[in-house]
């Protein structure tokens, strides 16, 4: 039998035979290696040096203008049986998919270096962590993977010990959208990505492995791989509760995970600890609670809107040793985007800034930074056993109807809330922005199998001995008649988190409504906030007629997953619909 190391070498040799690189570099993950790559990318123009006085160790990468976001229509989940991919995924038969993409890979690395990147998703000694190896011809990808994952020698040692790893083959190819595919083969634990250098398409440890492949793996192994931030909320008594929250891309995960408490809370001694900003792997512990790890080691955050007022911690984190992608620059060569003070002189494509060309920074411009640079980085993020989760939160961009916060009456209702999630689309994926679409558990682009089976998997966690977190739904994005957000959001979201924790601890009773439990009179702490009564009432309003229409739309949506839609979920939708009718 081939040794475990040989299995890895064999696969690397196969990939090299197909792509025919001039040389192969095995990444050790060292700082020296990173610096060498940076120097090489500065020399060939892949990276541009930013102002090293104000931003030491910071560089700018300008991507191809047609390669700035995830491409959902080119992202495939290739199960042998089409039904297993579900209507939520694009599918191609594995043999056909391999043939199509291998034809593109054929000789694509000629004259270039092939990098072999062993990485570990999660603390290197965690039983919840999983390893992978990405092969790529992009030094930009290597540098980003070094920041985003535990990459290099330690991961390779774990792979050699365990034998199993996710295989990811990537090439930037010609960066031609007509020659671009992001393919997943869950049954083979493998990913093939061609023709894009963009984060979600090219940093294969992230969405491809930690969500699409891992969600499928998690189903068979009894855990959950979710598109969730993880944040620790420490109250003045020194008790910390961990909350996991699923919002679609560019809907506030990074911001919530690093929020700064409002002034009154700070005075009282509240603290917020960042465990993760995008992905959460969780599994029931011996005590029946769900324990979560953040599989990542860095943040790949949306730059626009990140400011001292909205996300001071992110801004602090990215003041040094950060890779910026598609941001603008100022006259003194500092990175710039909409929401920052100062003026851009060069836009994200390197042109002199002209407002007629649109925003200076691309709306999906990003920063890549080590999580260790975040002032609120939690030491529990390194804990191999993970952190116990007290509350699970779902939410999206809903300009109307959805209240600021509501709580599910039980787990089944919580799964319905997650499945029913909707949100306006954002610039994180190509296509129209601001269109309402269903995005169950914020996993529409990331669930590696049939949503009907996924809902059933979620429901299966409700079993004897389980001590499940309470489930909530939030909406920071409800708008008033004036078209402005009703809720101030950002740091003030802690007020809503405190209510959730009070609910989890049984300290407040809430008010039952047909759609769930809402905060009772005086239960949301609003002191120090300029929010008039009328706006608060609007934020917590339950419009019965609007909700009846919503429930019928949810019912229709759920039926699109029949015959795999769990009957329990169908009945739960019917229960809420009836409760609304009875209350009309």
Residues recognised as catalytic: 251
Residue 472 among known ligand-binding residues: no
Cβ–Cβ under 8 Å, residues 181 and 104: yes
Window of 10-18, 75-83, 248-256, 363-371 that interacts with Mn ion by CB under 5 A: 248-256
Window of 124-132, 210-218, 296-304, 549-557 that interacts with Mn ion by CB under 5 A: 296-304
Residue 240 engages Mn ion in binding (rule: CB under 5 A): no
Nearer to ligand PGA, 19 or 254 (CB): 254
Residue 493 among known ligand-binding residues: yes
Residue 250 engages ligand GDP in binding (rule: CB under 6 A): yes
Residue 490 among known ligand-binding residues: yes
Question: Which 3 state secondary structure label does DSSP give 7?
Answer: helix
Cβ–Cβ under 8 Å, residues 366 and 303: yes
Structure-block tokens of residue 429: 């994926």
Question: Among 275, 298, 296, 311, which residue's Cα sits nearest to residue 367?
Answer: 298
Residue 394 engages ligand PGA in binding (rule: CB under 6 A): no
Other CB atoms within 10 A of residue 17 CB? 8
Location of structure tokens 């595919």: 181
CA dist., res. 423 & res. 505, Å (int): 30
Element (H, E) at 185: strand 181-185
Residue 492 among known ligand-binding residues: yes
Other CB atoms within 10 A of residue 295 CB? 29
Cβ–Cβ under 8 Å, residues 211 and 253: no
**What are the distances in angstroms from CA 431 to CA 66, 424, 437, 558?**
12, 12, 12, 24
Window of 21-29, 245-253, 307-315, 541-549 that interacts with ligand PGA by CB under 6 A: 245-253
Residue 278 engages ligand PGA in binding (rule: CB under 6 A): yes
Residue closest to ligand PGA when measured from CB atoms: 200
Residue 200 engages ligand PGA in binding (rule: CB under 6 A): yes
CA dist., res. 391 & res. 151, Å (int): 31
Q: Which of 63, 215, 240, 255 binds ligand GDP (CB under 6 A)?
A: 255
Residue 250 engages ligand PGA in binding (rule: CB under 6 A): yes
Residue 489 partner contact from ligand GDP, ligand PGA, Mn ion, none using kind-dependent CB cut-offs of 5 to 8 Å = ligand GDP
Size of the site for ligand GDP (CB under 6 A): 20
CA dist., res. 325 & res. 339, Å (int): 16
In whole angstroms, how close is the CB of 477 to Mn ion at the nearest point?
16
Residue 489 engages ligand GDP in binding (rule: CB under 6 A): yes
Residue 88 among known ligand-binding residues: no
Cβ–Cβ under 8 Å, residues 142 and 163: no
Window of 214-222, 247-255, 280-288, 411-419 that interacts with ligand PGA by CB under 6 A: 247-255
Residue 533 among known ligand-binding residues: no
DSSP state of 124: T
CA 493 to chain centre: 19
Cβ–Cβ under 8 Å, residues 62 and 432: no
Window of 61-69, 347-355, 385-393, 489-497 that interacts with ligand GDP by CB under 6 A: 489-497
Residue 55 engages ligand PGA in binding (rule: CB under 6 A): no
Residue 255 among known ligand-binding residues: yes
Q: Which of 46, 75, 171, 254 binds Mn ion (CB under 5 A)?
A: 254
In whole angstroms, how close is the CB of 324 to ligand GDP at the nearest point?
14
Window of 202-210, 234-242, 373-381, 482-490 that interacts with ligand GDP by CB under 6 A: 482-490
Residue 252 among known ligand-binding residues: yes
In whole angstroms, how close is the CB of 93 to ligand GDP at the nearest point?
33
In whole angstroms, how close is the CB of 14 to ligand GDP at the nearest point?
35
Nearer to ligand PGA, 121 or 250 (CB): 250
List phi, psi (to 5°) of 347. -85, 180
Residue 304 partner contact from ligand GDP, Mn ion, ligand PGA, none using kind-dependent CB cut-offs of 5 to 8 Å = ligand GDP
Residue 198 among known ligand-binding residues: yes
C-alpha triplet 115, 130, 156: angle, nearest 5°: 40
In whole angstroms, how close is the CB of 301 to ligand GDP at the nearest point?
5
CA dist., res. 255 & res. 251, Å (int): 9
Residue 168 partner contact from Mn ion, ligand GDP, ligand PGA, none using kind-dependent CB cut-offs of 5 to 8 Å = none
Question: Among 183, 166, 167, 170, which residue's Cα sits nearest to residue 139?
Answer: 170
Question: Which 3 state secondary structure label does DSSP give 50?
Answer: coil
Question: Among 156, 102, 154, 161, which residue's Cα sits nearest to residue 132?
Answer: 156
Question: Among 217, 136, 163, which residue's Cα sits nearest to residue 10?
Answer: 163
CA dist., res. 21 & res. 183, Å (int): 21
Tally the residues of the chain.
584
Of 257-316, binders to ligand GDP (CB under 6 A) are 277, 301-302, 304-305, 310
Residues with Cβ < 8 Å from 100, sequence gap 6 or more?
A: 92, 181
Question: Among 364, 361, 367, which residue's Cα sits nearest to residue 338?
Answer: 361
CA dist., res. 211 & res. 86, Å (int): 16
Window of 93-101, 166-174, 217-225, 247-255 that interacts with ligand GDP by CB under 6 A: 247-255
Q: At what angle do helices 567-583 and 544-559 cross, to 10 degrees?
A: 160
Residue 402 engages ligand GDP in binding (rule: CB under 6 A): no
Residue 546 partner contact from Mn ion, ligand PGA, ligand GDP, none using kind-dependent CB cut-offs of 5 to 8 Å = none
Nearer to ligand GDP, 440 or 573 (CB): 440
Residue 364 engages Mn ion in binding (rule: CB under 5 A): no
Nearer to Mn ion, 206 or 253 (CB): 253
Residue 200 partner contact from Mn ion, ligand PGA, ligand GDP, none using kind-dependent CB cut-offs of 5 to 8 Å = ligand PGA
List phi, psi (to 5°) of 178. -80, -15
Residue 240 engages ligand GDP in binding (rule: CB under 6 A): no
Residues with Cβ < 8 Å from 328, sequence gap 6 or more?
A: 335, 336, 337, 344, 345, 346, 347, 348, 353, 360, 361
- Footprint on this chain of ligand PGA (rule: CB under 6 A): 70, 199-200, 207, 249-250, 253, 278, 300, 302, 428
- Footprint on this chain of ligand GDP (rule: CB under 6 A): 247, 249-255, 277, 301-302, 304-305, 310, 476-477, 485, 489-490, 493
Which parts are annotated binding residues for GTP? 250-255, 366, 397, 490-493
- Footprint on this chain of Mn ion (rule: CB under 5 A): 253-254, 301
Which parts are annotated binding residues? 70, 198-200, 207, 227, 249-255, 278, 364-366, 397, 490-493
């Amino acid at each position: 039998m081939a040794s475990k190391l040989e299995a890895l070498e064999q696969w690397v040799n196969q990939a090299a035979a197909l792509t025919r690189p001039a040389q192969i570099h095995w990444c050790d993950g060292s700082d020296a290696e990173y610096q060498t790559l940076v120097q090489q990318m500065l020399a060939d123009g892949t990276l541009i040096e930013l102002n090293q006085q104000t931003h030491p160790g910071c560089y700018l990468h300008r991507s191809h203008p047609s390669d700035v976001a995830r491409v959902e229509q080119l992202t495939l989940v290739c199960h042998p049986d089409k039904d297993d991919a579900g209507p939520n995924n694009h599918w191609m038969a594995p043999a056909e998919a391999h043939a199509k993409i291998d034809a593109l890979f054929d000789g694509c690395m000629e004259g270039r270096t092939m990098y072999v990147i062993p990485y570990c998703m999660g603390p290197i000694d965690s039983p919840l962590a999983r390893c992978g190896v990405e092969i790529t011809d992009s030094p930009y990808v290597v540098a980003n993977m070094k920041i985003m994952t535990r990459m290099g020698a330690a991961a390779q040692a774990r792979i050699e010990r365990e034998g199993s790893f996710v295989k990811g083959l990537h090439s930037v190819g010609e960066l031609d959208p007509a020659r671009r595919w992001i393919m997943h083969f869950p049954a083979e634990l493998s990913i093939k990505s061609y023709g894009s250098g963009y984060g979600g398409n090219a940093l294969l440890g992230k969405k491809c492995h930690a969500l699409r492949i891992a969600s499928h793996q998690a189903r068979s192994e009894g855990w959950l791989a979710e598109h969730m931030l993880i944040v620790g909320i420490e109250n003045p008594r020194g008790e910390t509760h961990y909350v996991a929250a699923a919002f679609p891309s560019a809907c506030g995960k990074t911001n919530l995970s690093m929020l700064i408490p409002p002034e009154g809370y700070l005075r009282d001694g509240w603290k917020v600890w960042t465990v993760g900003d995008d992905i959460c792997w969780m599994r029931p512990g011996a005590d029946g609670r769900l324990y979560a790890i953040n599989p990542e080691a860095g943040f790949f955050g949306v730059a626009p809107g990140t400011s001292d007022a909205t996300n001071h911690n992110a801004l602090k984190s990215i003041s040094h040793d950060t890779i910026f992608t598609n941001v603008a620059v100022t006259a003194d060569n500092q990175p710039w985007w909409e929401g920052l003070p100062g003026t851009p002189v060069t836009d994200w494509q390197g042109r002199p800034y002209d407002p007629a060309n649109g925003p200076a920074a691309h709306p999906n411009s990003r920063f890549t930074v080590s999580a260790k640079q975040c002032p609120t980085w939690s030491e529990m993020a390194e804990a191999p056993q993970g952190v116990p989760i007290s509350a699970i939160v779902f939410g999206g961009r809903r300009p109307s109807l959805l209240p600021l916060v509501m709580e599910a009456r039980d787990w089944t209702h919580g799964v319905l809330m997650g499945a029913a999630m909707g949100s306006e689309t954002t610039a994180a994926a190509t296509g129209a922005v601001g269109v309402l679409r269903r995005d169950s558990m914020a996993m529409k682009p990331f669930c590696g199998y049939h949503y009907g089976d996924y809902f059933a998997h979620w429901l299966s966690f409700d079993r004897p001995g389980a001590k499940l977190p309470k489930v909530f739904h939030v909406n920071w994005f409800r708008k008033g008649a004036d078209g402005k957000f009703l809720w101030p959001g950002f740091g003030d979201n802690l007020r809503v988190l405190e209510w959730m924790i009070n609910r989890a601890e049984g300290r407040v009773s809430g008010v039952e409504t047909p759609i769930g439990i809402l905060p009772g009179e005086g239960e949301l702490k609003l002191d120090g906030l300029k929010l008039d009564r009328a706006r608060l009432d609007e934020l917590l309003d339950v419009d019965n007629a609007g909700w009846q229409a919503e429930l019928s739309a949810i019912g229709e949506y759920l039926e699109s997953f029949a015959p795999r839609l769990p009957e329990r979920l169908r009945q739960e939708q019917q229960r809420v619909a009836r409760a609304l009718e009875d209350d009309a």
